[in-house]
Structure 1
């Protein structure tokens, strides 16, 4: 099983995957304990804008890991997105708790 690569290409791929599944990812200033906040009712994910690329990838991968059972992965069209799913499923989230939602 390959590991998650922490580069801009992976970040773009994760953002595209969320977009294909109906989520909007934004980078904003905020005091999120985990570095991100998700507004499920609006399908909006807000990540701390001061995080470097690897921090952003970690946040999005953690969220994808927790949300994967609820997401419609059938909406994913691109081969690279489908190839990343097993990597995300095996990803060990940095935080043990579920993401906070409002």
Structure 2
């Protein structure tokens, strides 16, 4: 999704997590991906040393993978969440086959 890198947009992304009853924490740690998700406890930990762009991109990545209860979201958060999900890149045929566990067709 092409979202402008602004503190206001970071706040909007953080609000989605808040509305969905996730605890969002910015702490130091050795996360290879820049974040850690504790799904059972609904806690998301983001590397506090990421800059604004890194934080926004990380939150966007997480939102496309986490199953959120959309009924908990406010109207504004729900609208932004849907835009994020709709802009999620669709895997090509080779990647889709690999994720299903089938072999990609050979040419």
Structure-2-length-normalised TM-score:
0.75
Gaps of 5+ in 1: 93-102
Compared with structure 1, are the counterparts of its residues 91 and 4 closer, same or farther at alpha carbon in structure 2 (3 Å cutoff)?
A: farther
Q: Deviations over 1:16-58 (max 9, x none)?
A: 1101101010000011010000111111100000001110011
**What is the RMSD computed on CA atoms of the aligned residues?**
1.4
Match of 1:12 in 2: 11
Match of 2:72 in 1: 75
Instruction: Tell me, yes or no, if the aligned pair for 2:16 and 2:81 is still in contact at 8 Å.
Output: no
Count matched residues: 88
Please give the residue correspondences for 1:2-41 in structure 2 after superposition, counting only pairs within 5 Å. 3-41=2-40
User: Quick one: higher RCO (CA 8 Å, sep 6+), 1 or 2?
Assistant: 1
Runs of 4+ in 1 over 4 A off after TM superposition: none
